[in-house]
Amino acid sequence: MLDYKLNNANEIKSKACFHADALLFFIFNERSRLTAWLSKIIKRRGKRVRKNSQIANKTKEKRDETINNNIVLWTEAGRKCRAHVGKYPQNSQSGISGFRPQLCMDQEP
């Protein structure tokens, strides 16, 4: 019985060694293909990160441009309305940025 267990253990050990050797052999032979595959994945991830940051930058630029345009509208509305210079109430239904000139009633269209 003990002899059977020892043989079984040696057999398992030799199979494990064979599989480990086979794995190392595969990695050694296919290392150029594996490194190409890994670098491809890393590049793809880098592109995705860059693309997302470009989209975020474009969105931010667009938002800044909208806010700047609306501030210009705001100040122009203030200049036109001499009775309420410097008072620019924020219109709550104004879209993305919230900066819209709320013109006073006595101003000509």
pLDDT at position 6 over 50: yes
Task: State the pTM of this model.
Answer: 0.26
pLDDT recorded at residue 25: 72
Based on C-alpha coordinates, what's the Rg of the chain? 35
Question: 31-53: per-residue pLDDT in tens?
Answer: 777 777 777 777 777 777 777 77
Is 30 inside a domain boundary? no
| Complete DSSP assignment for 51-82 | HHHHHHHHHHHHHHHHHHHHHHHHHHHHHH-G
Which residue did the predictor score with more confidence, 82 or 63? 63
The answer to the question of residue 28 being in a domain is no
1 assigned to some structural domain: no
Residue 108 sits in which domain range? 43-109
26 within domain boundaries: no
Number of structural domains, the chain? 1
What per-residue confidence (pLDDT) applies to 93? 44
pLDDT for 107 = 47
In-domain check, residue 6: no
The answer to whether residue 79 sits within a structural domain is: yes
**CA 109 to CA 105: how far, in whole Å?**
10
Cβ atoms of residues 14 and 22 within 8 Å: no
The rounded mean pLDDT for the chain is 63
Return the pLDDT at 3.
59
